[in-house]
A and B are shown apart, each in its own frame.
Chain A
Amino acid sequence: MESQLVRLCIESACKSRESVERWRREKRSLERLPSQLADALLRRLLSRRLLFPSLLEVFKESVEEIDLRGQNSVDAEWIAYVGAFRYLRSLNVSDCHRLTNSALWPITGMTSLKELDLSRCLKVNDASIGHIVSISTLEKLYISETGISANGVKLLSSLKNLSVLDLGGLPVTDLALSSIQVLAKLQYLDLWGSEISNQGVCVLQMLPKLSSLNLAWTNVGNLPNLSSLECLNMSNCTIESVLEGDGDKAPLAKLVMSGATFVDESEAFLHIETSLMSYLDLSNSSLHRFCLLPRLKVLEHLDLSLTMIGDDAIQEIATVGANLRYLNLCKTKVSSAGIVILTGHVPNLEILLLSNTSVDDVALSYISLMHSLKDVDLSNTNIKGIIHHIGSETDPVPSLQALKSLRELKRLNLEQTHVMDAELFSVSGFQELTHLSLRNASLTDISLSYMSSLPKLTNLSIHDAVLTNWGLTSFQPPATLKSMDLRGCWLLTEDAILSFCRIHPQVEVRHEHVHVLPSDQLCSDRPSASRSPLNTTQQSQEDRKIRISPCFIDQRLKYTREELLGLQYSSLTPVTPHHVDIATSKMQLN
């Protein structure tokens, strides 16, 4: 990693336009700059919005990696400079919507480029293929969701060094695919949404190193055996059989069949080698029987949300639970009885998602026996936080208290459960909790006040509660709190939220009326203290006020005259473009 002084230097170099101009003339130093420093400096300039095309020129002898993804300003002029980068190894211009075929012309014949990402550059089409294939060194090429057609894809066969090829969302045909079978080094191939058929997919057997394949949203239902395949995605396909055939069995480690329809369940998985599979996603698929599960001895990640699984099949999960870390059973018929079966069989389970199931308070004491749990989602369940013993005259027993024995519990979601204020008192004793989500129209200020005693809480979300201004004002947030989401708390007023933010500037608050970012997230662009009329202590106080940025219609209401004068010297990169616009026009009025 960068040393501290290097970091300070980069900060200083990227402080303002002016500081950029002051080091920019040192041509000799720039040429000698080691690439990792040049890359870091360029990244920082970009994130500070100080980069412009002609400034790129000074980096042409040093930079090896440039990531311009999502930069709307990137156009032909930028690429003209980038094309001259002698040692450029990686260029990412994904989501740069202004790039056209002619804008890409300067990258033609670049000699050291190994990685090129043009994903979602909508204006790039077959006319760019000539520029791309002229870079014979390319090893990784991403052209998903561009305008390139099957005819363009055919021409990629000359890029013999390709190991990664992303053709997602392109109308690749069987014919086009057969022309890229000559790419013997290919390890990763993405063909989601293509026009490949069961016949066409057979040519993939010609790729001896193929380890990762994405065929989601295609008509492929019969996939022949691919002897080196480790990772397969066939989401939203209608699956007949997978990896059937002779030769070495594919060492499959990750299988994603989300939203898939199975023609015959037993046939579909018959030929899959399961001894290495650690990741399985069958969410939203048509799977009815889960006889595959007991074969997955090293399973770590299992997603069965939105499937037909019920308590009767939980035993199958329990038999392979030893390594399980992630289990998603959201929107299934699993109930507390199923959780009881799991208990004791999942010693390593860290994430358990049970949202939208009929799980109730009985499950809590069993969940509390899964000692590795870090993240539990119980939203939209029948959890009440108390257990009434039927027929007994004794007081109801609080149930959330049981979760206190989960020493590593960091995230807890209790949105849209029947938990009331009184039951949340137990939650206030969860020492490790960092994220807590609540959503219930009956929760009041009492719930909020309990949260003060969570020593590590960083993200608190209380939706639709009847919090009052008084409750918010008297709330003492834990020192660690970074974000508070109060959307739907309809009794709160703008003034109360703003005054809370003034007192606790480190907390980002979300609400329909206001969205206030914490003060340290916004970079202050004041060029120098000497130009500011305020002395430093005053300035930091002023900053706090000025950076609060709710949706005021007229900025004059928000600032005093002195504050506005101070604002004149702050350059305008804060919060959202919306605020900037208002501030700019105000400045011009002045």
Chain B
Amino acid sequence: MRKEDTVKLISAEGFEFVVHKDAAMVSQTIRNMLTSPGSFAETQHGEVTFPEISTTILEKICKYFYWNLEFASGKETEFHIEPELTLELMMAANYLHT
């Protein structure tokens, strides 16, 4: 995986998740950040920081990105969400438009 094809997502606690750009683009918010013509710091460095999203939730979000790509390509599996995470995850999903 070439560096240009990836994007780094950083959680509130500073954990870094390197994911494929296509996966990250599942989020409309991230897509806008990465593709908008302006000189967003995010566009240049391929890094996005989420001071509001904890590591656990961001990890789940990344898993969802990949699940969503698989689902879109016809693989029908269930995406399991632990009930404890639902509220936080819901808010993050709402923010990320995913």
Contact = CB atoms under 8 A, between A and B. Distances in A.
A13 B68 contact: no
- Of the listed residues A6, A15, A19, A34, the one surrounded by the most CB atoms of chain B closer than 10 A to its CB is A6
B37 to A, nearest CB: 25
Nearest to B78: A8
Contact of A12 (B81, B91, B96): B81
Interface string A1-32: 00111101110110100111011001001101
Interface in B74-98: 79-84, 86-91, 93-94, 96-98
A20 B87 CA distance: 11
A12 B87 contact: no
A26 B86 CA distance: 10
Q: SS class of chain A's interface: helix, strand, loop or mixed?
A: helix
Contacts of A15: 83
A37 interface: yes
Task: Tell me the dominant secondary structure on chain B's binding face.
Answer: helix
Contacts of B88: 26, 29
Nearest to B52: A32
Contacts of B81: 8-9, 12
B66 to A, nearest CB: 13
Contacts of A263: none
Given A3-B98, A4-B98, A5-B64, A22 B91 contact: no
Contacts of A33: 87, 90-91
Interface residues of A, number: 23
A193 B92 CA distance: 51
B98 A12 contact: no
B76 to A, nearest CB: 13
Contacts of B84: 22-23, 26
B91 A37 contact: yes
B79 A37 contact: no
Contacts of A26: 84, 87-88
Contacts of A37: 90-91, 94
Interface string A109-136: 0000000000000000000000000000
Nearest to A20: B83
B86 A10 contact: yes
Interface of B: 61, 64, 68, 79-84, 86-91, 93-94, 96-98
4 A-B pairs with least C-beta separation: A5-B93, A19-B83, A22-B83, A13-B86
